[in-house]
């Protein structure tokens, strides 16, 4: 183990809690923490994937891995998480669970948007308060909240998702200042477009994008050093190129970017509508 990893484990060990650990950035963070010697509590909805990951990490790194199959978009899931970890000495909390939606706001499914709000914001609020208090009592710890470069301005065609990330970003920035005197480091990780399970659920298609591994590495390297991490060159280029511009200009530019990643939705919808019309015409003719 390198000295850097030893210091990291000493500062934030012995055990880390990672939500959204079954895939994407959450999974990669869990892999890298296990390699650093952390015991883990892994949380996600898909128990089979969690157990497969736990078996792999235990075998490769001889760490203890607990699995909690929970849906944190539900109040019951958050309550079970806080109760199940009440007697566990968790020094690092990584809130990587979340999902996004894309497309015109007026076409949104309200139930899905509310579920996103509960997972991306309400669950983060509750768990940050619970684990923040526990870490403050122990006098040390770290909290990582997953923001996004879309959280620095509005984003047409992903309006509500960007709003949830703006919430996470501002919460993390404030907690970074509030909790630091209590020995707790708080970081907002704000990556750019990343290849992960998120993009499939949001029905987005991306060309250039970061790998989940690169985002995980950049995030963990920044913890304790700054309030916000922009992991990966693409994240920094996006943020720095937009920063000098007026906010309304940034909104329009990001809207154009999102339109490029979601343009297929309109094509797919039109194709389906045409297919439906052709079927109806054929049935009428018969």
- Residue 237 reports pLDDT greater than 90: no
175-204 burial code (b ≥16 CB/10 A, e <16):
bbeebeeeebbbbbbbbbbbbbbbbeebeb
**Domain ranges (residues) in the chain:** 3-285
Tell me the average pLDDT across 96-114.
Answer: 95
pLDDT in the model for residue 248: 77
161 is annotated as an active-site residue = yes
Better-predicted residue by pLDDT, 282 or 228: 228
165 is annotated as an active-site residue = yes
244-281 pLDDT per residue, tens: 777 777 777 777 777 766 553 544 444 444 433 333 32
C-alpha–C-alpha distance, residues 97 and 171, integer Å: 16
Catalytic hit among 12, 80, 93, 161: 161
**Per CATH, is 3-285 categorized as 3.40.50.720?**
yes
Catalytic hit among 12, 80, 93, 165: 165
**What are the respective helix, strand and coil percentages of the chain, to the nearest 5?**
60, 15, 25
201-219 pLDDT per residue, tens: 444 454 566 899 999 999 9
In order of 20, 60, 172, 208, 239, the CA distances from 152 in angstroms are: 23, 39, 13, 20, 8
**Residue 118 CA to its chain's centroid (Å):** 13
pLDDT in the model for residue 232: 66
- Residue 235 reports pLDDT greater than 90: no
Peptide bond into 14 cis (omega under 30): yes
Q: Closest by alpha carbon to 45, among 71, 18, 68?
A: 71
- Residue 231 reports pLDDT greater than 60: yes
Q: Kindly state the tokens that stand for 218.
A: 């950049």
C-alpha–C-alpha distance, residues 55 and 68, integer Å: 14
- Residue 198 reports pLDDT greater than 80: no
Tell me the average pLDDT across 147-158.
Answer: 91
In sequence order, the 6+-apart residues with CB closer than 8 A to the CB of 150 are 158, 161, 162, 165, 254
């Amino acid at each position: 183990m390198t000295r850097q990893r030893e210091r990291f484990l000493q500062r934030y060990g012995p055990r880390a809690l990672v939500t959204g650990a079954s895939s994407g950035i959450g999974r990669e963070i869990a892999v890298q923490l296990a390699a650093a010697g952390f015991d883990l509590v892994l949380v996600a909805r898909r128990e089979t994937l969690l157990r497969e990951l736990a078996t792999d990490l235990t075998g490769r790194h001889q760490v203890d891995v607990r699995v909690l199959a929970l849906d944190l978009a539900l109040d019951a899931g958050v309550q079970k998480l806080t109760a199940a970890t009440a007697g566990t000495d968790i020094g690092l909390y990584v809130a990587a669970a979340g999902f996004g939606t894309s497309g015109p706001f007026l076409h949104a499914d309200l139930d899905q948007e509310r579920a996103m709000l509960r997972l991306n914001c309400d669950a983060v609020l509750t768990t940050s308060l619970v684990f923040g208090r526990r870490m403050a009592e122990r006098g040390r710890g770290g909290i990582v909240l997953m923001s996004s470069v879309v959280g620095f301005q509005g984003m047409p065609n992903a309006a509500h998702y960007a709003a949830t990330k703006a919430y996470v970003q501002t919460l993390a920035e404030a907690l970074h200042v509030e909790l630091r005197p209590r020995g707790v480091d708080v970081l907002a990780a704000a990556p750019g477009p990343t290849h992960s399970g998120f993009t499939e659920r949001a029905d987005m298609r991306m060309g250039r994008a970061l790998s989940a591994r690169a985002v995980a590495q950049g995030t963990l390297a920044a913890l304790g050093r700054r309030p916000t991490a922009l992991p990966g060159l693409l994240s920094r280029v996006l943020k720095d190129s937009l920063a000098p511009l007026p906010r309304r200009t940034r909104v329009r530019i990001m809207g154009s970017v999102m339109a490029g990643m979601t343009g297929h939705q309109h094509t797919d919808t039109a194709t389906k509508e045409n297919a439906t019309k052709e079927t109806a015409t054929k049935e009428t003719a018969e």
